[in-house]
Structure 1
Amino acid sequence: MDPRTAAQRFADTWQHGWTHHDADSIIALYADDAEHTSMPFRPPHRGRGAIADYIRWSFAGETDPHVTFATPIVDGDHAAIEFRVHAHDNGTPVTLAGCVFAAFDTHGLAVRTRDYWHTTEGHQ
C-alpha cells in the first residue's frame, strides 16, 4: 500500500475509532510485531496485543470524545499526524493535543509509532 494512503487510513481510522471507542478498528492498523511508544519516557508496547491493552486502558474513564486528526505529512514510509481530543476524563473536561509519528510496512500496517501529547483541563 502506498504510504500516503496508509497514513490517511491511519488518521481516519484513529479519528473514528477514538470517537466511538472502537479499539478493534484501531488495533487492525498495526502489524503483529508493531511497537508503540506513548510519550518519550514510557516503555514501549511491543506487539499488537500490548498495543491493544494500551488503547483499551486509554479509553477507560473517557467519555464523549470529539477527535480530530490533521492531514498526515508523509516522507517515504513515515508520517507525522497531529491530533486533538476534547473529552471528559472521569467527569472532568479535558483537551488533549499531540502528534503521532508512524512508520508503515508495504501492506500499509503501522510497524512503529510514537506519540507526544499533553493534556489540560477544560476545552481549549
Structure 2
Amino acid sequence: MGTSEAAHRFTAVWQRAWAAHDVDAILALYAEDCVHRSMPFRTPHRGRDELAAYLRWSFAGERTLDVRFSEPITGPQGRAVAEFRVLTEEDGTPSTLAGCVFVRFDTKGLAVETRDYWHTVAGHREPAGPLFFT
C-alpha cells in the first residue's frame, strides 16, 4: 500500500474510532511491533498491547464530542503527518485537544512508528487558524 493511501486510511479511521473510543479499529492500523510516543518525554508504548492499554486509559474519563483530522501530508520513506482537533468533556469539564501526529508506515500500510505532539485548553475552542491543509 502506498504512503498516501495508508495516511488517508490512518486519519479517517482515527477520526471515526477516536469519536467512538473504538480501540480495536485503531489497533488494526498498527504493526504488531509498533512504537507509539504520546508525548516527547513519556516512555514509548511498544507493541499493540501497550498501545491498547494507553488508549483505554486515555479514553476512560473522556466523552468525545467531535474529532477532526487534517488532510495528511506525505513524504518519502513511508512518512506522513496530520493535525487533529478534538472536543471532549473530561469528567464533565469541557476541553479542547489540538495537535499533530507523525507516522511512519511499512509497505503493508501499517503504522510502525507514531509520535504525537498536542496541547489542551479548557473549554471548547477552535485553533487560531484552520487545520493545516483541510
User: Please, what TM-score do these two structures have when normalized by structure 1?
Assistant: 0.98
Q: Deviations over 1:66-108 (max 9, x none)?
A: 1000000000210011000001001000000000000000000
Q: Is the counterpart of residue 64 in structure 1 residue 61 in structure 2? A: no
* C-alpha distance in 2 between matches for 1:33 and 1:27: 11
Match of 1:103 in 2: 104
Match of 1:33 in 2: 33
Give the conservation status (yes or no) of the 8 Å contact 2:98–2:118. Answer: yes
Flag the structure with higher strand content: 1
Q: Is the counterpart of residue 93 in structure 1 residue 131 in structure 2? A: no
Equivalences, count: 124
* C-alpha distance in 1 between matches for 2:101 and 2:64: 22
- Amino acid paired to 2:113: R
Give the conservation status (yes or no) of the 8 Å contact 2:104–2:112. Answer: yes
Match of 1:16 in 2: 16
Q: Deviations over 1:16-60 (max 9, x none)?
A: 000111111001100000000011000100001101111111111
User: Please, what TM-score do these two structures have when normalized by structure 2?
Assistant: 0.91
Runs of 4+ in 1 over 2 A off after TM superposition: none
* C-alpha distance in 2 between matches for 1:33 and 1:65: 31
- Amino acid paired to 2:108: H
The answer for unaligned runs of 5 or more in structure 1 is: none
Q: Is the counterpart of residue 5 in structure 1 residue 5 in structure 2? A: yes
Distance 1:64 1:113, change over 3 A: closer
CA RMSD of aligned residues (A): 0.6
Give the conservation status (yes or no) of the 8 Å contact 2:103–2:114. Answer: yes
